Amino acid sequence: MQIFITGIAGFLGSNLSDYYIEKGFKVTGCDNLVGGDLDNVDNRVNFHKADCEDLDKMREITKGADVVIHAAAYAHENLSIFSPHLISKNIINGSTSVFSAAIANKVKRIVFCSSIARYGEVQIPYLENGLTIPTDPYGISKLAAEKILINLCDTYGIEYNIAVPHNIIGIKQKYDDPFRNVASIMINLMLQNRQPIIYGDGEQKRSFSDVEDCIYCIDKLATDPNIKSKLVNIGPGPENEITINELFRKISNQLKFNQEPLYKPERVNEVKNAICSSSLAEKLFKNKSNEDIDDIISKMINFIRKKGVKKFIYNYEIEINNDLTPETWSKKII
């Protein structure tokens, strides 16, 4: 079987690639290297430097694929409020391009990696058949891409599944991006003896997912012939919820970091509590997620130490810079 993975040099894509390489699959993929790193890509991968928005290129490089896993995204939820054109174009146009190319090349199945941002400020834990009221352009774009995928696949008779990962953390996560990845940002800063930044009161609740668990679930969505036309939350459920303050304490305890975080004003439209139900995933995949957040943090610390701390890179243009824009970004404080 030939697997094609978009965003293959990024966090989720590269971990998926490693998994399939070890299973003996033929792996092909693309990345525009804006948020990815070639060091993440195994030399056995047939790699293409390409942007998902380039439909002609996507048609060319997805030929021969049996399954396309669309993991590429500018996964910047809060930044999408201040750079809505950049993020929505990447998510909607990029996804539609990938879907169109895959269908034109008659792939058997498409797996789309959506986001917990699709749910928004609704009752928790989020259920797959529950309300979706996203609070930012990123979540709205992910939801729109889901609907486009379902419509196209139903029209052309292509199998599909949709994964809804939430707050994935683990090795290979980008840790020099000031706009996303709270755990990685904290570790990178603390290893430099710099105070991490927490927005609001830090009592926002999240449920962090081990990337290895997400890979197992996405593989089932990609290869199990009995799992089709499903949208599934992947990651631990409400029993694993943790506040950002608690996350800081866990990281600082492991690093023996003795400074307090810097608290900044809460970010506009940020969802206070984002927790998913994992009951459908447990039923479908017979898999219980890793709930040992301390173990995951330890792996991340070791990875970043080995790679070396990095300065933060402000790769993305802020399209709307006003009083609502976090000064950590507008003044490049991180």
pLDDT at 232: 97
Tokens 């309300």 found at:
131
Longest Cα–Cα distance in the chain? 58
Distance CA 16, CA 215 (A): 6
Q: 131: helix, coil or strand?
A: coil
pLDDT at 291: 67
Q: Across the chain, what does the average pLDDT equal?
A: 96
Same domain assignment for residues 97 and 84: yes
Q: Which amino acid is at 318?
A: I
Same domain assignment for residues 141 and 201: no
Beta bridge partners of 158: none
Distance CA 287, CA 295 (A): 18
Q: Which amino acid is at 279?
A: S
Q: How many domains does the chain have?
A: 2
Same domain assignment for residues 9 and 156: yes
Enumerate residue ranges in the chain where pLDDT < 50.
none
pLDDT at 32: 97
Q: Tens digit of pLDDT for each residue in 157-192?
A: 999 999 999 899 999 999 999 999 999 999 999 999
For residue 325, tell me if it sits in a domain. yes
For residue 284, tell me if it sits in a domain. no
Same domain assignment for residues 33 and 90: yes
Q: Tens digit of pLDDT for each residue in 63-117?
A: 999 999 999 999 999 999 999 999 999 999 999 999 999 999 999 999 999 999 9
Same domain assignment for residues 186 and 118: no
Beta bridge partners of 28: 4, 46
Same domain assignment for residues 73 and 220: yes
Distance CA 305, CA 202 (A): 26
- The boundaries of the domain holding residue 228 are 2-169+209-234
Same domain assignment for residues 14 and 151: yes
pLDDT at 235: 84
Same domain assignment for residues 192 and 324: yes
Distance CA 79, CA 329 (A): 9
Angle between helices 293-307 and 244-255 (to 10 degrees): 60
Same domain assignment for residues 253 and 266: yes
CATH assignment of the domain containing 47? 3.40.50.720
For 297, list phi and psi in degrees, rounded to 5.
Answer: -60, -40
For 251, 258, 305, the CA distances from 191, given in Å and listed in that order, are 10, 12, 8
pTM of the predicted protein model: 0.96
pLDDT at 290: 62
Same domain assignment for residues 187 and 67: no
